[in-house]
Amino acid sequence: MMSYRDLGVWKRGMDLAEVVYDVARQLPESERFGLAQQMRRSAVSIPSFIAEGRARLSTREFARFIAMALGSLAELETQLLLAARLRLTTADVDTILATADQLGRMLQALRKTLDRKLVAGGCPASERPNR
């Protein structure tokens, strides 16, 4: 069985988290416990949800955790946009958002694959992840 560490989507999530940590370090001291902390939490939760979902050994659970990773990604994108809008960072937010967009597409593709697997496996509709 493939480890979560072998998943390209997890690796991309780790790459994004690393970049976000660099951005958070550059934010003003006044944002240390505000936006910077929230950005770090959102960024860390993405690969963490992927890893936890994969470790559950259930397709349904994995799909649920991928959905949560997508939610955290949306939070992070919003936080990056806010940091740029408030001129709190000189980081190339557009490049970071492009990476986030690529990760989002990877997560969506994985989610669709898992959903198809659930349907093919005869999983009752009540147990299928919401879209």
The pLDDT value recorded for residue 57 is 83
The pLDDT value recorded for residue 128 is 47
Domains in the chain, CATH or no CATH each? 4-121 (1.20.1440.60)
- For residue 54 the two structure tokens come to 């994969």
Phi-psi sector, 122: left (phi>0), alpha (psi -120 to 50), beta: left
The pLDDT value recorded for residue 83 is 97
Neighbour tally for 118: CB within 10 Å:
20
Distances (CA, A) of 46 to 5, 19, 106: 13, 13, 12
- Ranges of residues in the chain with a pLDDT under 70 are 1, 122-131
Backbone phi, psi, residue 22, to 5°: -65, -45
Residue 120 CB-density burial (10 A; 0-12 exposed, 13-18 middle, 19+ buried): exposed
Distance in Å from the first CA to the final CA of the chain: 26
**DSSP string of 65-114, one letter each residue:** HHHHHHHHHHHHHHHHHHHHHTT---S-HHHHHHHHHHHHHHHHHHHHHH
Amino acid identity of 62? F
Find where tokens 């939490």 sit: 41
The pLDDT value recorded for residue 2 is 84
